[in-house]
Structure 1
Amino acid sequence: MSTNEKDIQNSCCSGSNEQIPGVIQSGSSCCSKEKPSRRVEENSCPSNQRKEERENLCCETSEEEEGEDSSPSAPPTQLVEYQVKGMDCPSCAATIEKSLRKKEGVQSVSVHYGTAKMAVGGENQAVYDQIPHQMKKLGFEAEPLQTGREMETYKVEGMDCGSCAATIEKHLSNHPNVQDVRVNFPTGKLHVLHTIKPEEIMREVKKSGFEAYLEKGDSSKEGQKTPRRPFPSAAISGALLALGFIGTFTSLSAEWVTAFYALAIAVGGGKPLRSAFYAVRSGSLDMNVLMASAALGAALIGEWFEGAMVVWLFALGNSLQNRSLEKTRDSIRSLMNIAPAEALVKEGRQWVRKAVEEVSIGEVIVVKPGDRVPLDGEIIQGASSLNQAPITGESLPVDKQEGDSVYAGTINESGSLEVRVTKRSEDTAIAKIIHLVEEAQEKKAPTQAFVDRFAAVYTPIVFMLALLVMVIPPLFIGGSWGEWLYKGISLLVVACPCALVISTPVAIVSAIGNAARHGVLIKGGTFLEKAGAIQAIAFDKTGTLTEGKPKVADVIALNGEKENLIRIAGTIEEYSTHPIAAAVSSYASERHISTAHGSDFRTLPGKGAQARIAGTVYYAGNPKLFKEMGVDLGQLENQLDQLESEGKTLVLIGTEKEIQGIISVADSIREITIQSIQSLKKSGLKELVMLTGDNEGTARRIAAEAGVDRYFADLMPEDKTKAIEKLQEEGKQVAMVGDGINDAPALASSDLGIAMGGAGTDTAMETADVVLMADNLEMLPHTIRLSRKALTIIKQNVWFSLLTKLAALVLIFPGFLTLWMAVLSDTGAALIVILNSMRLLRKNA
């Protein structure tokens, strides 16, 4: 096998996120014993299969594909790349390739499971426009990359459950000029790729009974409008209902009472009726269909009061639900509003205010005390303390000086700063965080995927049952048509699983929004649920539990005073860039010990350094250096061995004749580490483990200081993966905490990858499942508690929704449940589920 072939195979089978330039890799050729990627939106392979069985299934499917002739009949005019979501294992990639090759006009397909990308060659643009629709049929999502057109994002008002989103999606999918459409109920967003004006998209959405507006970020585009205040249908309908009800106790004629009830139905039911029409046309059975059927049925059998009450309760419930849902959907709004809209930019000798979108990379901006930083950049003049809590969740301000990076949205607390812009407004850390959080809120969790599948089967079954209840008893059992029609209509109302469908997404959105405000980025509902199920956490040592840079631990003077020893050591190390030399120099500077006048500075590679001070040559180096010079270390051997056994690095200071002192250097524990470890233990985690490439002595010392239960020492990067797998073999769900770069293999093999330091690390934000933006463990216990509470609330919501439906179904047939009570139970249950989920928005949820 050639070198290039090996590189390709290793890249594919390791699950690397980096694609080798110029090489298109097919998921069907990736057949390894590595653990399949965890980043799954919806499982398409059976979740109860053991890992080996899933891998064998993937490999068998891949091998079947090898024999097929996949070469195109003619070379495609161009290749268009797509980002694919929902692939669970390499067999999914093989399935996509096999299916798309059969489509007319498709000349080539290559799917790379490792990078979740697909390259398609087609005869014309129409082929590429149909790819997202074809992928949706296969159970995946495909979004074109670099097509010259981007999906527009609209905010949709009025959606109160997932079936509303399905109605809009199906309606727009039938439009000939819409290539791809995705509607997400939890975030209230519509993403659409089309070739028509935005106004037409908004008109089509309105036909479905909803209002859509372009997001503010698209304000330059045609069709941007300010959302109108919603029509007060609930209030007017309620007033008309009240007038009719009061009229029954007065001399008002029955015709007038009926007229008031009919108007109440018309005003409150206009929107649901219109939505129901388009839902039926697109093949959806949503709440609007059921409520419209119930109201019309009630009017048909002469139960005008019941029909008006149904419509009013439904309108009122929707109004309350929408208000509550908007609070949940806007859980990330605080992040979106923290960065200023304008920046003070230096132009020549003047300072000019510009919109942040107009500021280019390299321009200089000024940030005054008390102002927020408008754009990411580097300080070129000034020093200050910045409050980074809006991004990282850090409780204390961070000191910044020339050369340090600053982030948009952070608060300048004291001195004035001049900052050179390093990123455009759309590429800042806060912009990326907002984008990733919104993506995370739109991803379905396993529980939500299950509930959606259940609801898709449950609703049509109960709808058919309701029709049978209306028809079968009057024909074959006896009883009046009006009585059984009434019971059937009540069953229709109960049939809608609204509370059940929103039980999971609202909780997921609330929890992810809460975490984001505290400096923790959770990449989706799947990972939120996994965080709640974690039993053990493995920590990388360097840069996670420790500072990642050495500090002086001991200063032992053998001849003379410690201060003089430090002065000599500081003088020798002053011009060295080695991390140990920097630690010694910093130690001297912190204690205000000035260096001596030195000359003849020399670095001794692998051994140390030397300098001439006051006519004498002094050395700072390891024991090996002095042994080579013939200096007797006999009396110091035991002391040196003891220090080394504690995991410390030794720097001996002396001349060619004698040792004058010993300075030991060690990596130090982060201030927050011990407190965080103790908080995690109180959270009930079974085991906390440290992984390190350091020797046994260092590992033992750091583990004891940090308070972890167990450690693995002398590990190479691939050994860390084996350590994770060993913990998993012990029956534990394992999370790995690392820096997101060097620990990539271990992060990928764990059940949940948690990266440190996301605010300044693009790789961490892109590759990990959870990112701690503050680069410390302070918020990890909060994340675990939040995830567990989210799981608890989701279970509460699901069980409450199911039990409410069951109780309502049981009460219908004895005649205890009236039509308006059925509506109240449905909308009330949905509202209770939303309010229960909103508890996750609280600061210390």
Structure 2
Amino acid sequence: MSGHNHGACDSHTDGVFGKRTELIFSVLSGVFLLIGFLLQQFSELKFLFVLIPFLLSYFLGGYYTAKEAIHEISKARFEIDFLMLVAAIGAAFLDKWAEGGLLLFLFSLGHALEHLAMDKAQKSIEALTNLAPKQALKKIDGQFQEVDLNDLEVGDILRVRPNSTVPADSILIHGRTTINQASITGESIPVDKLAIEGQDIDIYAIDSIPDKYRAFAGTINGDATIELKVIRKAEDSTLSRLIEMVQQAQDKKSPTQLLTDKFEKFYVPAVLILILILNFAFIVLDEPWSASFYRSMAALVAASPCALAISTPSAVLSGIARAARGGVLFKGGKPLEDLGTLTTLAFDKTGTLTEGNPKLTDVVLLNNTSEEQLLSEVVALESSSNHPLAKAIVRDGEMKLPQNYELPQLSTSEAIQGKGITGDINGKSISIGNLELFQDGESPDNEIAHQISRLEQAGKTTMLVKSGTQFVGILGLMDVPRKSAKPTLMRLKQLGIKEMLMLTGDNQFVADAVANDIGITEAYGSLLPEEKVSKIREFSSVNKKVAMIGDGVNDAPAMANSTVGIAMGAAGSDVALETADIALMADKLEVLPFAIGLSRKAHTIVKQNLWISLGVVALLLPATIFGWANIGIAVVFHEGSTLVVVLNALRLLAYKSP
């Protein structure tokens, strides 16, 4: 039951009965074994007729084992599949067909169960491909036609409709829009994008293109129809790379698995030498060679570390499969084992602990204006805009106004890109925007400028409101903590996480405000990406193990330097996903306690499996050498222990967050 049996994994994928061929072969092997045993015990038939079901049992139970053994021998490796075949052939040589058949049946059943766990993991991952847009609107001979995403080439012109996903990394060539790119950059407020008009831009020098012209694959277009030029093929998108990463995860072994693999390398040849020596026991003992040979075959079964070889990979695969079903991607056995041992977590703020969406948090009244009057005019004007900040003001402003309140009549409105919006309400001009909007007219006085500065220092996005000739109010918008943040952090504390730290590029005021609200142990603000790395290294030197949880490009270096890097959201930045060891697929912070709990459970099951497998070998080997146990007993205990560790590992598939 080799932990590195990729040959078997490949060979079992398709067969006479499709993907379940290996399991069906194994069950049929058991059926023919039972028929042969019953005929041998209770019928008067000639042995030739009894032999037929045994031969069928041998063929069906040994088919994939032989395939794997041949694959390994061709690479000059003698592994457990080979030992099992030798033992089964040896049993047949001694006319112990039932015992040999039982060995191959139980061995193949264990193999099949291992592969079922692998398939479950694969299916969970294949479901991800459904998240990617399948088609794009490409310009062909002046007309936009739907084409398959994989047919896109660098330089193709695409049209993206309002509120649609951008299909590939591109630059804007026509139209203006705001794009929600929180999934890529971690910015909490959607970004204004402009078309490159009449500029000579090298689309192959991607990094030199200013961000204001770029649209990333997987980001969400605002309410405008835009045209884009592709700068990266669709197959380089986040999702396709994500699926590729999971397939690679199956090859990344856990520390325990690497240890057992190393042990097997020396153990298997040692077993073969022992079996050879036992064959000559008849020289020393008063017994025929057939008795020595039988003892050596029984010892071979007892000493084969099937349960040991499968104990870790079966637990790792079951853990990865269960995690994928729960919306968590573990990239291999190492992060699965490591996560459960951590007591320190470091979080990025924007989009990780906060929603990544603006909320209207402050309404400052100026020049004796009432809140009702200010908000009614603001909501009336902003209702005509599709800008994300305008939508936030309308949504939150309406909630502050009395129910069934009638908004004043808006006659005209004009959006000024990057500055704000102006309009006329009941013959009076209204303007809402940043300080740049009011540069040409009368500037706000020092008191107003001071209030704006105070809000901005607290991490707020500010908008000044002018009604007629007077400044009547200041609006403050901020990215607020996720609703799930506080209960999740409390849950993590209950799980035994001692320190929860926040590392953010936002100023210290914002960091402290969010930290106090949700229960972060310590907050560090105004950090550049390299300063986040320094902090992680600092924690690591004290606590040895620390996980970094983030979602943006600026979190990737810190993730790479942590014990375990955790990326928020499958649509997170490409760099963060590449660097992270674990991805929270649905961008849900609340699945973090589940991931930690699952990791701890997997770690426990791996340890249990190692004790079971080594314990059985330690008991059985002396018992067979000294003749206290025959092949039948050795097979039942040995293969029984293999099934026990597989079934124990499969318990992870039913894991529920405590």
Q: TM-score, normalised by structure 1?
A: 0.58
Verify: 1:161 aligned to 2:31, yes or no.
no
* Residue in 1 that maps onto 2:122: 332
- Is contact 2:117–2:317 with CA below 8 Å preserved after alignment? no
* Residue in 1 that maps onto 2:269: 460
* Residue in 2 that maps onto 1:30: none
Structure ranking higher on relative contact order (CA contacts 8 Å, 6+ apart):
2
1:452–1:574 distance in 2 versus 1, CA, 3 Å: same
1:450–1:582 distance in 2 versus 1, CA, 3 Å: same
1:260–1:278 distance in 2 versus 1, CA, 3 Å: same
- Is contact 1:332–1:517 with CA below 8 Å preserved after alignment? no
User: C-alpha deviations, 1:1-25, integer Å up to 9, x for none?
Assistant: xxxxxxxxxxxxxxxxxxxxxxxxx
Verify: 1:442 aligned to 2:251, yes or no.
yes
Structure 2 counterpart of 1:318, one-letter code: S
Verify: 1:564 aligned to 2:373, yes or no.
yes
In structure 2, C-alpha distance between the alignment counterparts of 1:695 and 1:800, rounded to whole Å: 53
User: C-alpha deviations, 1:397-444, integer Å up to 9, x for none?
Assistant: xxxxxxx9998xxxxxxxxxxx99999996676544433212212222
SS at match of 1:438: helix
Verify: 1:553 aligned to 2:361, yes or no.
yes
* Residue in 2 that maps onto 1:836: 648
* Residue in 2 that maps onto 1:104: none
Out of 665-674 and 802-811, give the one that drifted further: 665-674
Any residues of structure 2 matched to 1:142-153 within 5 Å, and which? Answer: none
User: C-alpha deviations, 1:348-403, integer Å up to 9, x for none?
Assistant: 9xxx999997899879999xxxxxx9x9999xxxxxxxxxxxxxxxxxxxxxxxxx
Q: CA deviation at 1:808?
A: 0.8
Any residues of structure 2 matched to 1:358-507 within 5 Å, and which? Answer: 431-471=240-280, 473-476=281-284, 478-507=286-315
- Is contact 2:413–2:421 with CA below 8 Å preserved after alignment? no
In structure 1, C-alpha distance between the alignment counterparts of 2:84 and 2:282, rounded to whole Å: 23
- Is contact 1:567–1:596 with CA below 8 Å preserved after alignment? no
User: C-alpha deviations, 1:427-463, integer Å up to 9, x for none?
Assistant: 6765444332122122222221111111111111122
1:569–1:505 distance in 2 versus 1, CA, 3 Å: same
- Counterpart selection for 1:525 from 333, 343, 353: 333
Q: CA deviation at 1:533?
A: 2.1
SS at match of 1:492: helix
* Residue in 1 that maps onto 2:102: 312
Any residues of structure 2 matched to 1:631-780 within 5 Å, and which? Answer: 631=445, 633=447, 648=460, 653=465, 660-759=472-571, 761-780=573-592
Verify: 1:513 aligned to 2:303, yes or no.
no
In structure 1, C-alpha distance between the alignment counterparts of 2:622 and 2:386, rounded to whole Å: 78
In structure 2, C-alpha distance between the alignment counterparts of 1:246 and 1:600, rounded to whole Å: 92
Structure 1 counterpart of 2:578, one-letter code: E
SS at match of 2:476: strand
- Is contact 2:330–2:336 with CA below 8 Å preserved after alignment? yes
Q: How many residues align?
A: 592
- Is contact 1:611–1:619 with CA below 8 Å preserved after alignment? no
In structure 1, C-alpha distance between the alignment counterparts of 2:217 and 2:329, rounded to whole Å: 19
In structure 2, C-alpha distance between the alignment counterparts of 1:780 and 1:710, rounded to whole Å: 19
In structure 1, C-alpha distance between the alignment counterparts of 2:42 and 2:429, rounded to whole Å: 113
- Is contact 2:428–2:467 with CA below 8 Å preserved after alignment? no
Where does the alignment leave 5 or more consecutive residues of structure 2 unmatched? 171-214, 219-226
In structure 1, C-alpha distance between the alignment counterparts of 2:73 and 2:446, rounded to whole Å: 93
- Is contact 2:117–2:314 with CA below 8 Å preserved after alignment? no
Give the superposed CA RMSD. Answer: 5.4
- Counterpart selection for 2:347 from 515, 518, 539: 539
Q: CA deviation at 1:252?
A: 6.2
Q: CA deviation at 1:805?
A: 0.9
SS at match of 2:553: coil
SS at match of 2:480: strand
In structure 2, C-alpha distance between the alignment counterparts of 1:578 and 1:702, rounded to whole Å: 25
SS at match of 1:513: helix
Structure 1 counterpart of 2:649, one-letter code: S
1:312–1:584 distance in 2 versus 1, CA, 3 Å: closer
In structure 2, C-alpha distance between the alignment counterparts of 1:690 and 1:228, rounded to whole Å: 48
Structure 2 counterpart of 1:311, one-letter code: G
Structure 1 counterpart of 2:531, one-letter code: D
- Is contact 1:539–1:736 with CA below 8 Å preserved after alignment? yes
In structure 1, C-alpha distance between the alignment counterparts of 2:371 and 2:383, rounded to whole Å: 18
* Residue in 1 that maps onto 2:195: none
Out of 741-750 and 755-764, give the one that drifted further: 755-764
SS at match of 2:321: helix
- Counterpart selection for 2:609 from 797, 803, 807: 797
- Is contact 2:84–2:103 with CA below 8 Å preserved after alignment? no
Structure 1 counterpart of 2:108, one-letter code: N
Give the helix-richer structure, 1 or 2.
Answer: 2
* Residue in 2 that maps onto 1:285: 78
Structure 2 counterpart of 1:702, one-letter code: V
In structure 2, C-alpha distance between the alignment counterparts of 1:328 and 1:271, rounded to whole Å: 16
1:749–1:579 distance in 2 versus 1, CA, 3 Å: farther
SS at match of 2:571: helix
Q: CA deviation at 1:617?
A: 8.5
SS at match of 2:590: coil
Q: TM-score, normalised by structure 2?
A: 0.72
In structure 1, C-alpha distance between the alignment counterparts of 2:445 and 2:158, rounded to whole Å: 58
User: C-alpha deviations, 1:102-137, integer Å up to 9, x for none?
Assistant: xxxxxxxxxxxxxxxxxxxxxxxxxxxxxxxxxxxx
* Residue in 2 that maps onto 1:391: none
In structure 1, C-alpha distance between the alignment counterparts of 2:434 and 2:62, rounded to whole Å: 85
- Is contact 2:505–2:526 with CA below 8 Å preserved after alignment? yes
SS at match of 1:784: helix
* Residue in 2 that maps onto 1:826: 638
- Counterpart selection for 2:627 from 790, 815, 818: 815
In structure 2, C-alpha distance between the alignment counterparts of 1:509 and 1:822, rounded to whole Å: 28
SS at match of 1:758: coil
Out of 229-238 and 330-339, give the one that drifted further: 229-238
In structure 2, C-alpha distance between the alignment counterparts of 1:713 and 1:672, rounded to whole Å: 22
Q: CA deviation at 1:611?
A: 8.3
SS at match of 1:503: helix
- Is contact 2:307–2:642 with CA below 8 Å preserved after alignment? yes
- Is contact 1:631–1:658 with CA below 8 Å preserved after alignment? no
- Is contact 1:537–1:734 with CA below 8 Å preserved after alignment? yes
- Is contact 2:72–2:79 with CA below 8 Å preserved after alignment? yes
Any residues of structure 2 matched to 1:263-282 within 5 Å, and which? Answer: 282=75
Where does the alignment leave 5 or more consecutive residues of structure 1 unmatched? 1-159, 169-184, 190-209, 215-223, 367-372, 379-403, 408-418
Q: CA deviation at 1:562?
A: 0.9
1:704–1:343 distance in 2 versus 1, CA, 3 Å: closer
Any residues of structure 2 matched to 1:7-18 within 5 Å, and which? Answer: none
- Is contact 2:260–2:308 with CA below 8 Å preserved after alignment? yes
* Residue in 2 that maps onto 1:20: none
* Residue in 2 that maps onto 1:389: none
Structure 2 counterpart of 1:161, one-letter code: S
* Residue in 1 that maps onto 2:191: none
Q: CA deviation at 1:796?
A: 1.4
- Is contact 2:444–2:471 with CA below 8 Å preserved after alignment? no
Structure 1 counterpart of 2:105, one-letter code: A
1:270–1:354 distance in 2 versus 1, CA, 3 Å: same
- Is contact 2:249–2:331 with CA below 8 Å preserved after alignment? yes
Percent of pairs with identical residues: 33
Q: CA deviation at 1:656?
A: 11
